Structure 1
Amino acid sequence: MSLSKRPEGVAPPEIFYNDDEARKYTQNSRNIEIQEEMTNRCIELLEIDDDDGETRLVLDIGCGSGLSGECLDERGHVWVGIDISQSMLNVALEREVEGDLVLADMGEGLPFRAGTFDYAISVSALQWLCNKDKAAHNPIQRLSRFFTSLYAVLVNALEN
């Protein structure tokens, strides 16, 4: 697939995922299947369910319309989602997802207190950090701000 057919090659996420695209994305059975598979794999790799049976607070980075959050719900975890697209978050609200939702640009750093989350997942979002959608965007700086703030908001990062 060429870059121009990928959303990242068309427009910034807050523009690409307008009301129509947000609804189409969320209603596409293939997208739903991929989100579910990838989220379940994240949960498996992080061994979230293998801990001690306690409920965990998970940050869903690039949560979109909450498809990944539903997988976390199904496994008994509490989640907070962050996304840059108001339209995607509006779809999540319409779908009445269980997680709390935050409108923010992950490339500006995560707007949470240090040590807030037990885990973080991201399905199909981090690639947006590498784009230079605006003159002020510097992918290296955006990646640095994101990963520095991600490390800070994770509980286990503070314990090590």
Structure 2
Amino acid sequence: MGYNDPAKRSLNGIARSLIAQVLALNPACLHCLYERVLSSGEPTLSVSGTLCTQILTKLAEYHDQLVIGIDGLDECEEPEKRPILARIDSILKATKATRNVRFFMTSRKEPVIEKSFRSAIALEIRPHHLETDIKSYVRLRTSELGEMYSMDAERQQWITIEISRRSHGM
């Protein structure tokens, strides 16, 4: 989700972003988008999200396997959550026969989201699951910055420890 970007925390924003990403993966699908938008008679991708959902469903037909990731579903505006969840469900139902679309979503625990995906596989990630990844990333970036700014190894290690300690696994 676009952190602090309200446009990306809405149904329409998410749908537009997903469409753009799918088109970037497979530009040959652009004709499908063009034809669908023209035949809809809508001047833009509507706020209702129906056209966006139809386009995403159609674009999925051009892929043997399409995995859609949505990070921070809980960060969506409250009135947008149910419509977003409903559209995800619509896409899954529309592609059920081919089973070529999968969703990978992250979210904090929220009843409305958990209820919508009660039959989905859920993985609970706790801060201690992320500590090693955070330390590795911070170590790599600190090393890169150390080279750029001529930091000695001791200073780099101190920075790595401090940043990793403050992250609390998040």
TM-score by length of 2: 0.27
Structure whose alpha-carbon radius of gyration is higher: 2
> Which of 1 and 2 has higher RCO (CA within 8 Å, sep 6+)?
1
- Considering fraction of residues, name the structure with more strand: 1
TM-score, L = length of structure 1:
0.29
